Structure 1
Amino acid sequence: MRAYQTLLYYCYSPIENAEEFAQQHLEFCKSLDLVGRIIVADEGLNGTVSGTQEACKAYMDTVHADERFAKTDFKVDEVDEPSFIKMHCRYKAEIVHSGLRNPQVIDPNKRTGVHLEPKEFLELKDREDVVILDVRSDYEHNVGHFKNAVRLDIENFREFPEKINELAKYKDKKILTYCTGGIKCEKASALLLHEGFENVYQLHGGIIKYGKEVGGKDFEGKCYVFDNRVAVDINQVNPTVVSTCFNCGAVSSKMINCANPECNEHFTQCDECGWKMDGCCSEACREHPRKRPYDGTGYYVKIPQSVDVSKRKYKKFPEKTLLTNE
């Protein structure tokens, strides 16, 4: 048994005075010496926290004791060290940004796709009348995805509503949605139903639970996670690596953030290119005066900064860090 655990969870449940709750919850987490990242919104909780076995048990027990969150499904990983550096608990408008002008029209507590347990998903996924839909961002599915899954070209889940028209050709199919832990599928499946899709399903507990309960069969590559582990193994049945190094094209599953904080591109880079490029995606970034020291991990604590995008002299990339799961 390892000394620490990492908990991945979410719960759609209305929270009154959610902004005040976020501050109180932060103090509670700190009292347990937990580290991680939690988003609190009027609609519920979305978090990943890490700490000792005892602290994680105390956290889960306390959350489950609150009737608002009694149904919370925790995905628990045993880890050698905490998966974060600091503890953050912030209030936001949504626990996962939907990109909808009026997100209230989609309420996962009222209507979502049919929840499939991992065994049911495994039994259905290869049928001819089924389409597997990855609702995650491109940087996530590039490092790992289900075999034959439809993958959307989106930099962030908030772009998902813009892709609905592209999915219209699958309206006569059973659509099996999946994501890391299940939270994005709650809104993605609800939106598909709202837009007239009839046979919509979602993988309950996401990729993480699928790996734990049925061995991860046919999940190709690794699963991107939103902590300093970056990507974790899922497939214990027929594993493979599908991602390639951004710089040289070699097969690699290692994802990093560019060492230039004004670029911060999230990309796959092999160890050889990592040291050669000093953790940067390009020579321009390697020579940038603000380049952060590279220690081989490509993981940096997020520091708020003001960036003048108009003055960039290199390719514009989405602002992503390892500390966000939207």
Structure 2
Amino acid sequence: MVQHLKFCKEIGLKGRILVATEGINGTVSGTVEQTDQYMKLMKEDSRFSDMVFKIDASETHAFKKMHVRHRKELVTLRLDDDLDPTEVTGKYLEPKQFFETMNNPETIVIDARNDYEYDLGHFRGAIRPDIEAFRELPNWIRENRNKFEGKKILTYCTGGIRCEKFSGWLIKEGFEDVAQLHGGIVTYGKDPEVQGQLWDGQCYVFDERISVPINHKKHVIVGKDYFTGEPCERYVNCANPECNKQILCSEENEHKHLRGCSHECRVHPRNRYVEEHGLTEEHILERLKQLNKEALMNPR
């Protein structure tokens, strides 16, 4: 890992790479020359000669620093029995196959991502598991098992990594007809034939970009402003560092609510919005007073 990090820094890459016994996964950003150099190095290693790289254009670096870290699992399910996706995983469907299968009325589509990812964008009609972290997915499936029994199950995630493990787990749990989107949402959006159809909203990504477009036929906004419920695709983190909850929020509402997702977060002594804008106690009280006034005039 030390050598890998050293090489990445030497050629000027920034990003996040995770290394585990089951493999390697990550995202890096750099110039075309820098990323080509990285891919060449990886493919020269026999262990990674058939590695698939997903390439996306960006005007600037998508990360601030370069990290290479060891993890017990690339994606965390925390199962009692370890699950190796190289031994058992769901059937791979290419974008066109996935698109066609979604249109089958006997198909159940399960989003394998977190709730805040789903809320920004998802496949039309996909089931939204009520989870905040991937490791919560197995318990959610067990609690709702009767909804999926005997159905053809499709699952998807951002780049396909989580689904390799999740679809394999579904098979071990006794679900017989399980398939996954090969290459994930990002690959689906780049397919020249499908062009992202049946995807609504944006795709959440774990870097400085926050989101990327997928449907190149018709863009539909599904995200809703945390405070007003109006269409919104702008994510911010709650200004309370002890909360840090991600919320969809317009610039206007960010300023109005001091970027706090609750009253407690707005008045938190370490509110980052207050610090960033140098607001005085008088300014804060004035905004809170205005919020109270609006709440009385427009009770929900």
TM-score, normalised to structure 1, is 0.81
Deviations 1:274-324 (A, max 9, x none): 12223222232222222224899xxxxxxxxxxxxxxxxxxxxxxxxxxxx
* Count of residues in correspondence between the two structures: 273
- Provide the residue aligned with 1:183 in structure 2: 161
- Cross-structure match for 1:210: 188
Contact 1:112-1:190 within 8 A present in 2 as well: yes
Aligned twin of 2:39: 60
Secondary structure of 1:122's aligned partner: helix
Q: Secondary structure at the match of 1:187?
A: helix
Kindly indicate whether residue 10 of structure 2 is the aligned counterpart of residue 24 of structure 1: no
Query: Equivalent residue for 1:154?
Result: 131
Question: What residue number does 2:211 align with?
Answer: 231
Aligned-partner Cα distance in 2 for 1:232–1:295: 30
C-alpha deviation, 1:250, in angstroms:
1.5
Aligned residue number for residue 131 of structure 1:
108
Q: Secondary structure at the match of 2:179?
A: strand
CA distance, structure 2, for counterparts of residue 280 and residue 230 of structure 1 = 19
Q: Which runs of 5+ in 1 are unaligned?
A: 1-21, 297-326
Who is 2:174 aligned against? 196
Equivalent residue, structure 1, for 2:118: 141
Partners of 2:68 and 2:274 in 1: CA distance = 28
Mapped to 2, the partners of 1:251 and 1:48 lie a distance apart of 29
1:23–1:90 contact (8 Å) kept in structure 2: no
> For residue 188 of structure 2, what is the amino acid of its counterpart?
Y
Higher helix share: 2
- When Rg is computed on C-alpha atoms for both structures, the one with the higher figure is 2
1:110 aligns with 2:87: yes
* 1:289 pairs with 2:266: no
> What SS class does the counterpart of residue 177 from structure 1 fall into?
strand
Does the 8 Å CA contact 1:252/1:270 hold for their aligned counterparts?
yes
Q: Secondary structure at the match of 1:37?
A: strand
* Correspondence 1:91 to 2:79: no
CA-CA distance at 1:89 after TM superposition: 1.0
Q: Which moved more, 1:272-281 or 1:201-210?
A: 272-281
Distance of 2:35 and 2:146 partners within structure 1: 43
Match of 2:257 in 1: 277
Aligned to 1:131, what secondary structure does the other structure show?
strand
Distance in 1 (CA, whole Å) between partners of 2:176 and 2:91 is 11
Q: Take 2:270 and 2:196, find their aligned partners in 1: how far apart are those partners?
A: 41
Give the Cα separation in 2 of the matches to 1:227 and 1:140.
Answer: 13
- Code of the residue aligned with 1:116 in structure 2: it is L
Counterpart in the other structure of 1:78: 57
Residue pair 1:250, 1:270 contacting (<8 A) in 2 also: no
State the secondary structure of the residue aligned to 2:55.
strand
Q: What SS is found at the alignment partner of 2:272?
A: coil
Amino acid at match of 1:68: R
CA distance in 2 between partners of 1:75 and 1:99 (Å): 27
Question: Cα distance, 1:101 vs. partner?
Answer: 2.5
Asked if the contact 1:179–1:206 (Cα under 8 Å) also holds between the matched residues in 2, the reply is yes
Task: Check if 1:221 corresponds to 2:206.
Answer: no
Kept after mapping to 2: 8 A contact 1:218/1:239: no
Query: 1:182·1:203 contact (CA, 8 Å) conserved in 2?
Result: yes
> Following the alignment from structure 2 to structure 1, what is the Cα–Cα distance between the partners of residues 110 and 252?
34
> What amino acid maps onto 1:138 in structure 2?
D
Cα distance, 1:76–1:290 mapped onto 2, change above 3 Å: same
CA distance in 2, matches of 1:59, 1:278: 42
Q: How much has 1:257 moved relative to structure 2?
A: 1.1
**CA pair 275-73 structure 1, distance change in 2 beyond 3 A:** same
Confirm whether residue 267 of structure 1 aligns to residue 233 of structure 2. Answer: no
Question: Is the contact between residue 99 and residue 160 of structure 1 (CA under 8 Å) also seen in structure 2?
Answer: no
Residues of 2 paired with 1:294 and 1:191: CA distance?
45
Query: What 5-or-longer segments of structure 2 have no aligned partner?
Result: 277-300
Dislocated runs of 4+, deviation >6 Å: none
**Residue 100 (structure 2) pairs with residue 100 (structure 1):** no
Deviations 1:144-202 (A, max 9, x none): 11001111001100111112221343231211110000001001100000011111000
